[in-house]
A = this chain, B = another copy of it.
């Protein structure tokens, strides 16, 4: 098992986190990780409508922003949300983003 380079918790910057979450594809990945817990890149990024190299670029963006943690095991890369790290650094932020992202786009009539 091998950890990929990540920012330390105290080095996670708010604007970079917001920027990472501001892309629809990355936000979808984050929502899946929130619902499904740790999963491989393939599972987290499947059926996204983008090329796998594009998805890989998004994985890296999320990792470098400090949103996800990636560990390599064999030929698989497992990703998970850095919920505790984000919660300690920016309390409530991830939860509110997730609640907003999972909310249906239109309210009740």
Q: Which residues of A contact B (CB under 8 A)?
A: 10, 14-16, 18-19, 21-24, 27, 89-93, 95-97, 99-101, 103, 106-107
Nearest opposing residue in chain B for A65, CB measure? B22
- Smallest beta-carbon distance A22→chain B, Å: 4
Q: How far is the CA of A107 from the CA of B95 in the complex (A)?
A: 22
Q: How far is the CA of A23 from the CA of B13 in the complex (A)?
A: 11
A contacts with B: majority SS = helix
- Smallest beta-carbon distance A101→chain B, Å: 6
Q: Which of B15, B89, B91 contacts A23 (CB 8 A)?
A: B15
A93-B100, A100-B93 known; A27 vs B14 contact (CB < 8 Å):
yes
